[in-house]
Amino acid sequence: MIRMAVFLGNAGKEYEKTRHNAGFMLCSFLYPDAVFSVKFHSAWAKEGSLVIIKPLTLMNRSGTAVSEAASFYKLKAEEILVVHDDLELELGKAVLQQGGGLKGHNGLRSIKERLGSDSFFRLRIGIGRPVHGDSARYVLSPFAKDEIIKLEQLFSLIASEPVFSSDKLLLSV
């Protein structure tokens, strides 16, 4: 059972609508009225029995926030869901899985290192891969207006599914 949902992104106005912030964007969509406090190097809130965190560290150091919260709540990796952007999935797709490869995602790598396990659940939000150019620059670039519409359609679909109680899920708009 998922007891903590971690939404990955980078804090700061300049990153607000960037591809790397797909996790933060989904959190705002799902929990628009959540009241966040600062704890565990994160924006932190509770929705019922679910702990929600948005790490305030840079993406590549997300493991610090996740491990602090997991330690405080005595959570196993299997009780944590990490929501993140994924270059390998096209925009408009999302996949829920447990464990698996890191696919070069430094936020996931940091979490795995700090938890000592990769058995946490992941909700991978597709942002697509750039046709040309640098992936690092791409993930920090903002979504186009038509891409935001597609992303919000996906978020609506995610909101209508039992994401936090499923073992495997594939969504597409």
Largest pairwise CA distance in the chain: 44
Catalytic residue chosen out of the listed positions 20, 41, 84, 105: 20
Classified as helix, coil or strand, 10 is coil
Is 41 considered catalytic here? no
Q: What are the tokens at 85?
A: 């952007």
Catalytic residue numbers read: 20
